[in-house]
Homo-oligomer: A and B are copies of this chain.
C-alpha cells in the first residue's frame, strides 16, 4: 500500500488510478496539509497527478461520499468544513460506536493483533519525536480503525474510518490544545487493556478517551472561514 501512495505522489512512472488519487488526497487532508475549505480544482489536480480530469472527478466524488470533500454543482470541490453541529454529531456517533467495538476487539484480540497495535503506537511515537505532527495525527486516527477491524466488524470499521477522517477535519478547525501527547498515553492504556483481553476496561478507556478528545474541542470558535465571507460579516 505504501508503494501505491508513493506512486501516486510522484506520478512519474505509472499513471495513478482514481483510488490512488483518492488515498493521496485523503492522506493530505488527514495530515492537515490540505486545510478545510481549500478549493480542489480539477485541472489543477489533473496536472499534479498526471492524469485526465476523468480520474480526478471519480476520486473527488469518492471523497465527497465520505464527506471529506464537498462538491457544489458547477462550482467545484472543496475540502469539507464541518460545522459545530456536525462535529457534535460525529463525536456522538463515535461515542456510541467505538467503546462497544473496543470491547469486542479486546475479547477477540489475538497476540498478533496486539503486536500490530503496539507497532502502530511505536510508529506514532516516532512520528511525534520526528516532529511530524501531521503523520502522528494520521496514525493516531488509524489506531482507532485498526481496533475496529480486530473486532471482526468490517462494516462498523468502515463507519469508524469515515468518522475518524472527519474528526481530523474537526481537529483542524476546532482544536483547543497544543499538545497531542496525552493521546499517546490514552492509546497505550487502551492497547494494554486489549492485550489482556479486558473488554470492560477497553470499553471504559475508549469512552473516556473520546470524551477527552471531545472536550478538547472549542466548538464555539468561529471556524476559519475558507470561503464564505458573508458568514463573517453577515
Contacts and interface: CB of A to CB of B under 8 A. Distances in A.
B89 A154 contact: yes
Given A61-B61, A62-B65, A155 B100 contact: no
12 contacts: A58-B61, A61-B61, A65-B65, A89-B153, A92-B156, A93-B153, A93-B155, A93-B156, A96-B96, A96-B100, A97-B97, A155-B163
B93 A96 contact: no
Nearest to A166: B155
A89 B58 contact: no
How many copies of this chain does one complex carry? 2
Contacts of A154: 86, 89
Contacts of A153: 89, 92-93
Contacts of A163: 155
Given A96-B97, A97-B97, A155 B90 contact: yes
Nearest to A163: B155
Interface string A67-92: 00000000000000000001001101
Contact of A62 (B61, B100, B156, B159): B61
A31 to B, nearest CB: 23
Contacts of A92: 153, 155-156
Nearest to A54: B54
Contacts of A100: 96
A155 B165 CA distance: 13
A130 B152 CA distance: 42
Given A65-B65, A92-B156, A159-B159, 9 more contacts: A61-B62, A86-B155, A89-B152, A89-B153, A89-B154, A89-B155, A89-B156, A92-B153, A93-B156
B155 A96 contact: no
Contacts of A65: 62, 65
A155 B90 CA distance: 7
Contacts of A159: 93, 159
Interface in A36-77: 58, 61-62, 65
